[in-house]
C-alpha cells in the first residue's frame, strides 16, 4: 500500500505550514480585533492592579521588621526601605509557639493521602459507571452525585462522633477520611464524564484485542485520562491545602495533626495579631500550591486523544 | 481459517419492538470475502458486531467454523476487527498498537516484534513504527488499523466501513489494496459498507440487508443481473435502475399509449395481490435512443446531462401524456428517468429524446410483493 501523492507541487511540510499559517493568522486577526478596544484594555489594567495591590502589600510586609510593621503602613517601605528575613526564620522554625514548621509538615502529611485516596477510588468507580452495564447504574450514579448537595457543615458532628467511637479521634485518619468522603462525589462525576468522552470503539478494540476490565482501565484509559486526573488532583490539592474548617474540627487546635491553615488562624487571633508572622506565614502557605499548579498545568494540554480516531 | 455461519441470528435492542437484525441466515465460506451492504439502519453493522461479540444475540446462533460462539467473549473468538474510525490507541506507537493484542496474550517480545515488522512490511508501514497515530495521515492510520488485525493472524477479519473516512481517491486505491491483501492472506472476511460500488468491486459475494432482513446473497454479477426484488434492483448499480409500476392489458404493460411487451410466463405468474399490475425495471444502459415517432418509444425531457468521459448519463423526466403521473422513479427521484447515451452524441438540456427498452434487458417484479418474476 502506498501513500497518496499530493495533488499540488508542494511537499507535505510546505502544505501543512501554509495551512497552519493561514488558520493561525485568521485566528490572530480575529482575536486582535476583539482585544484592541482601548477602553477594555484600560479597565482590565485597572482591575488587575486593584486585585494585586493587597497581595503585594502582604509580600512587602512580610519582609519588614516587626516594629516597622506595627508603626507604619507597608507603603512607607518605599520611602524607608528596611528589610529582614527574621519573619520567615521565625515562621519556618519548628521550635517555639510562633513556629509554623510543624504545621507545614502536617499539611503535607494531610494533603498527599487526601488527594491520592479519592482519585484512586474515583477512577475505579467512574470506570464502573461509564463502561460496565449493571442494573440501576443510572440511579446509583445520580444518587452518588446527589451527595454533593449535602453541606459539609451538616456532616461534621455526626462524623466526629463516628471517629471518636472508632477510636480515630486526634489522628490524621480523621482528616484523610473526611477529605476523601467530601471529594468523592465530584471526583467520580468529573472522571466519569471524561471517561464517557473516550470513544467506545477504543474500549471495544481493546476488548477484541483480549484485554479485560483491568487491562482496559490501566493500559488504555488511564494514559488518556491524565488531563482529567491532573485537573482533579490540582483542584483537590488546593481545596485540602487551604481547608481550615475540616482540619479545625477533626484535628482540634493542637499542633500534633493540625495543618498550616490552623496555625495561621491561631496567629491572626488567639493571642494578639502577629502581623509580621502572619504575612510571612501566608507566603509560605501560598508557595506550595503555586509550585504544584505550575508543575501539573502541562497536563492540561488538550488533544491527548488526537490521532487515535478518524482522519 | 474458518467458515462463518449466522443461524437465525436475531438482535432486538432493549426498548425497541422491531428487531435490528431479524433471523439472519447467512453462511460465509472459508476464505471468502463477503460484503454486507445496505442503507443506514439496515442492521449490517449490528450483524457484524454480533459476530464480533460486541452485541448480544437474542435468538439464534452464530458459528465460526464448527464452534458455536454465540455466548463466547470477543477475545476468545479468534477474530480481529477494523473499526470505522480506526480506534487506534492514541498514546501508543504504531508498533505498540499493532502488537497490543499479542502483548496481552503474553507472547514473547521477540515474536511480537517480528510479527509486527512482518505486518508492517506488508502494509508499507515499516518507517512509521515508532510514530504515534496523531503523526500519521488518514490513509496511514487506516493501514495501522488493518495491521493491528493482520498481526493477530485471526480466523476471521471483520471490517466495519474501514474506508469511509478516506478521501475519494484514496478510497478507490485502498479498496483494491484491501481486496488483494485479503486474496493473498486467504482469511475469511466479513466487510460492512453502505456503498454499493465498494460492495460490487470488493466482494466475492454480497449480502444486501434492509430493515434487518436479508434481501439477497450472491456474487456481484448475480446481484446486478438478477436482483431478487425491487429493493435490491434499486440499490445495486450506479446510476440506479429505473423502476415503474404499470397496468397490464393484453400482455402489454401500458405506459400511456406506449406498450411494453411482457412475456406470457410473467403474466401468468402474477397473483391476485398484484392487482393486474407489474413492476418493470430497466437499467440506464438498457435504453436505446431512437428517432422520434418510433413505435412504443418513451419520450424523455432532458434535465441534466452528466458526462463522465467514458459514459454520459441523461437525467430526464417523462413528458407529454406521460408526465407527472408518478409512473416511474429512479435513483434521481420521482418521475425521473436515467438514460445512458453515447458520450460523443449527448443531447442538449431541454431537448426531448425518445428511448426504447432493449428487448430482454428489462427486470420484472410483482407489483404487490416486489419479488422478481423469473421469465
Note whether residue B372 is domain-resident: no
Smallest Cα–Cα separation from B52: which of B100, B9, B111? B9
Note whether residue B136 is domain-resident: yes
- Which among A208, A224, A311 has CB closest to B141? A311
- What is the count of structural domains for chain B? 2
Confidence of residue A22 (pLDDT cuts 50, 70, 90): low
Contact A311 B148 (CB under 8 A): no
- B178/B293 same-domain check: no
For residue B160, the model assigns a pLDDT of 93
Those residues of chain A whose CB sits closer than 8 Å to some CB in chain B are 1-4, 199, 201-202, 204-211, 215, 219-220, 223-224, 303-311
Q: List the CATH number of the domain containing B339.
A: 2.40.50.140
Note whether residue B181 is domain-resident: yes
Contact A209 B104 (CB under 8 A): yes
- B223/B245 same-domain check: no
Per-residue pLDDT 10s for chain B (375 aa) are 689 999 999 999 988 889 999 999 999 999 999 999 999 889 999 999 999 999 999 999 999 999 999 999 998 999 999 999 999 999 999 999 999 999 999 999 999 999 999 999 999 999 999 999 989 998 999 999 999 999 999 999 999 999 988 998 999 999 999 999 999 999 999 999 999 999 999 999 999 999 999 999 999 999 999 999 999 999 998 888 998 888 888 788 887 777 888 888 888 888 778 888 888 899 999 999 998 888 888 888 899 999 998 999 999 888 766 665 666 777 667 778 899 999 998 898 888 898 888 888 889 999 888 899 886
- B147/B193 same-domain check: yes
- B211/B349 same-domain check: no
Question: How confident is the model over A139-157, as pLDDT tens digits?
Answer: 999 999 898 888 999 999 9
- B10/B116 same-domain check: yes
**Three-state secondary structure of A37-92:** CHHHHHHHHHHHHHHHHHHHHHHHHHCCCHHHHHHCCHHHHHCCCCCCCHHHHHHH
Q: Which residues from B are below 8 Å from A3, CB to CB?
A: 124, 137, 139-140
* Residue B160: closest C-alpha in chain A: A201
Please identify among residues 152-181 of chain B the ones whose CB lies closer than 8 Å to any CB of chain A: 152, 165-166, 169-170, 173-174, 177, 181
Contact A310 B166 (CB under 8 A): no
- B210/B264 same-domain check: no
- B173/B261 same-domain check: no
- B266/B173 same-domain check: no
Least confident of A19-28, A69-78, B89-98, B133-142: A19-28
Q: Is the pLDDT of residue A12 over 80?
A: no
Q: List the CATH number of the domain containing B199.
A: 3.40.50.300
Note whether residue B116 is domain-resident: yes
Note whether residue B275 is domain-resident: yes
- B216/B249 same-domain check: no
Return the C-alpha cell found at B304.
Answer: 441534466
- Quote the domain boundaries for residue B276: 241-366
Place of cell 493501514: B143
Q: Which residues from A are below 8 Å from B141, CB to CB?
A: 307, 311
Question: How confident is the model over B194-253, as pLDDT tens digits?
Answer: 999 999 999 999 999 999 999 999 999 999 999 999 999 999 988 889 988 888 887 888
pTM of the model: 0.79
- Which among B100, B101, B133 has CB closest to A308? B133
Residue B115, C-beta contacts closer than 8 angstroms, at least 6 positions apart: B99, B102, B151, B153
- B155/B79 same-domain check: yes
For residue A98, the model assigns a pLDDT of 61
Tell me how far apart the alpha carbons of residues A255 and A259 are, in angstroms, rounded to a whole number: 8
Question: How confident is the model over A291-307, as pLDDT tens digits?
Answer: 888 887 777 655 444 44
Quick check: B369 and B279 in contact, CB under 8 A?
no
Averaged pLDDT of chain A = 82
What is the bridge-based pairing of β-strands B59-64 and B4-11? antiparallel
Question: How confident is the model over B153-202, as pLDDT tens digits?
Answer: 999 999 999 998 899 899 999 999 999 999 999 999 999 999 999 999 99
Q: Is B276 on the interface with A (CB under 8 A)?
A: no
Note whether residue B52 is domain-resident: yes
Segment (H or E) for B59 = strand B59-64
How far away is chain B from the Cα of A186, in angstroms, using its nearest Cα?
26
The domain ranges of chain A are 12-92, 101-300
For residue A33, the model assigns a pLDDT of 67
Q: Is B13 on the interface with A (CB under 8 A)?
A: no
Tell me how far apart the alpha carbons of residues A126 and A105 are, in angstroms, rounded to a whole number: 32
- B47/B174 same-domain check: yes
Note whether residue B11 is domain-resident: yes
Smallest Cα–Cα separation from A245: which of A302, A189, A178, A295? A178
Backbone angles phi, psi at B12, to 5 degrees: -115, 120
Q: Which residues from B are below 8 Å from A310, CB to CB?
A: 85-86, 138, 165
Of B205, B234, B263, the residue that ends a domain is B234
For residue B323, the model assigns a pLDDT of 61
Averaged pLDDT of chain B = 89
Note whether residue B374 is domain-resident: no
Quick check: B153 and B79 in contact, CB under 8 A?
no
Mean pLDDT computed over A269-277: 71
Of B165, B199, B234, the residue that ends a domain is B234
How far away is chain A from the Cα of B221, in angstroms, using its nearest Cα?
27
Of B212, B234, B256, the residue that ends a domain is B234
ipTM of the complex: 0.85
Topology annotation, domain A101-300: MetI-like fold (1.10.3720)
- B219/B255 same-domain check: no
Amino acid at each position: 500500500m502506498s501513500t497518496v501523492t499530493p495533488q499540488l507541487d508542494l511537499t507535505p511540510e510546505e502544505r501543512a505550514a501554509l495551512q497552519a499559517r493561514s488558520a493561525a493568522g485568521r485566528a490572530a486577526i480575529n482575536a486582535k480585533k476583539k482585544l484592541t478596544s482601548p477602553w477594555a484594555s484600560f479597565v482590565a489594567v485597572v482591575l488587575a492592579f486593584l486585585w494585586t495591590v493587597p497581595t503585594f502589600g502582604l509580600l512587602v510586609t512580610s519582609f519588614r521588621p516587626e516594629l516597622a510593621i506595627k508603626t507604619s503602613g507597608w507603603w512607607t517601605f518605599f520611602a524607608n526601605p528596611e528589610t529582614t528575613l527574621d519573619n520567615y526564620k521565625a515562621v519556618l522554625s519548628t521550635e517555639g509557639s510562633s513556629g509554623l514548621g510543624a504545621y507545614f509538615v502536617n499539611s503535607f502529611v494531610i494533603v498527599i493521602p487526601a488527594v491520592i485516596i479519592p482519585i484512586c477510588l474515583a477512577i475505579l468507580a467512574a470506570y464502573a459507571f461509564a463502561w460496565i452495564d449493571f442494573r440501576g447504574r443510572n440511579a446509583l450514579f445520580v444518587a452518588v452525585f446527589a451527595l454533593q448537595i449535602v453541606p459539609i457543615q451538616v456532616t461534621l458532628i455526626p462524623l466526629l462522633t463516628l471517629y471518636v467511637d472508632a477510636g480515630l479521634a486526634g489522628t490524621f485518619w480523621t482528616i484523610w477520611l473526611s477529605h476523601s468522603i467530601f471529594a468523592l462525589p465530584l471526583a467520580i462525576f468529573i472522571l466519569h464524564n471524561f471517561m464517557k468522552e473516550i470513544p467506545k470503539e477504543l474500549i471495544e478494540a481493546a476488548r477484541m484485542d483480549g484485554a479485560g476490565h483491568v487491562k482496559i482501565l490501566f493500559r488504555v484509559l488511564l494514559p488518556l485520562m491524565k488531563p482529567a486526573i491532573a485537573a482533579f488532583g490540582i483542584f483537590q490539592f488546593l481545596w485540602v491545602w487551604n481547608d481550615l474548617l475540616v482540619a479545625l474540627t477533626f484535628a482540634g487546635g493542637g499542633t500534633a495533626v493540625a495543618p498550616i491553615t490552623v496555625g495561621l488562624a491561631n496567629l491572626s487571633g488567639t493571642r494578639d495579631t502577629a502581623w509580621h508572622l502572619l504575612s510571612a506565614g501566608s507566603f509560605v502557605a501560598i508557595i506550595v500550591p503555586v509550585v504544584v499548579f505550575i508543575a501539573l498545568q502541562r497536563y492540561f494540554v488538550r488533544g491527548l486523544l488526537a490521532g487515535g480516531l478518524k482522519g | 481459517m474458518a467458515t462463518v455461519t449466522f443461524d437465525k441470528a436475531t438482535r432486538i435492542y432493549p426498548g425497541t419492538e422491531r428487531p435490528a437484525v431479524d433471523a439472519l441466515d447467512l453462511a460465509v465460506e472459508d476464505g471468502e470475502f463477503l460484503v454486507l451492504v445496505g442503507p443506514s439502519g439496515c442492521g449490517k453493522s449490528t450483524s457484524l458486531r454480533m459476530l464480533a461479540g460486541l452485541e448480544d444475540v437474542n435468538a439464534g446462533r452464530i458459528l465460526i467454523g464448527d464452534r458455536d460462539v454465540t455466548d463466547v467473549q470477543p477475545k476468545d473468538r479468534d477474530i480481529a476487527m477494523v473499526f470505522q474510525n480506526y480506534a487506534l490507541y492514541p498514546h501508543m506507537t504504531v508498533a505498540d498498537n499493532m502488537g497490543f493484542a499479542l502483548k496481552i496474550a503474553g507472547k514473547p517480545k521477540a515474536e511480537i516484534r517480528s510479527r509486527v515488522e512482518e505486518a508492517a512490511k506488508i502494509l508499507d508501514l515499516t518507517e512509521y513504527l515508532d510514530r504515534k497515530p496523531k503523526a500519521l495521515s488518514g490513509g496511514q492510520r487506516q493501514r495501522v488499523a488493518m495491521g493491528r488485525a493482520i498481526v493477530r493472524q485471526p480466523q476471521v477479519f471483520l471490517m466495519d466501513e474501514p474506508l469511509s473516512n478516506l478521501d475519494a481517491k484514496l478510497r478507490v486505491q485502498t479498496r483494491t489494496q484491501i481486496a488483494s491483501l485479503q486474496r493473498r492472506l486467504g482469511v475469511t472476511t466479513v466487510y460492512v459498507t453502505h456503498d454499493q460500488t465498494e460492495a460490487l468491486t470488493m466482494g466475492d459475494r454480497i449480502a444486501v440487508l434492509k430493515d434487518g432482513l436479508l434481501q439477497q446473497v450472491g456474487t456481484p454479477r448475480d446481484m446486478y443481473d438478477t436482483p431478487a426484488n425491487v429493493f435490491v434492483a434499486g440499490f445495486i448499480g450506479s446510476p440506479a435502475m429505473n423502476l415503474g409500476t404499470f397496468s397490464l392489458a393484453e400482455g402489454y404493460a401500458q405506459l400511456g399509449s406506449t406498450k411494453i411487451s411482457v412475456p406470457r410466463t410473467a403474466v401468468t405468474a402474477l397473483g391476485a395481490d398484484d392487482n393486474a399490475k407489474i413492476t418493470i425495471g430497466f437499467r440506464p444502459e438498457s435504453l436505446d435512443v431512437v428517432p422520434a415517432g418510433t413505435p412504443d418509444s418513451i419520450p424523455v425531457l432532458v434535465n441534466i446531462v452528466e458526462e463522465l468521459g467514458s459514459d454520459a448519463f441523461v437525467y430526464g423526466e417523462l413528458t407529454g401524456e406521460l408526465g407527472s403521473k408518478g409512473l416511474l422513479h429512479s435513483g434521481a427521484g420521482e418521475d425521473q428517468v436515467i438514460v445512458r447515451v453515447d458520450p460523443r452524441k449527448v443531447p442538449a438540456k431541454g431537448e426531448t429524446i425518445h428511448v426504447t427498452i432493449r428487448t430482454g434487458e428489462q427486470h420484472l417484479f410483482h407489483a404487490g410483493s416486489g419479488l422478481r418474476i423469473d421469465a
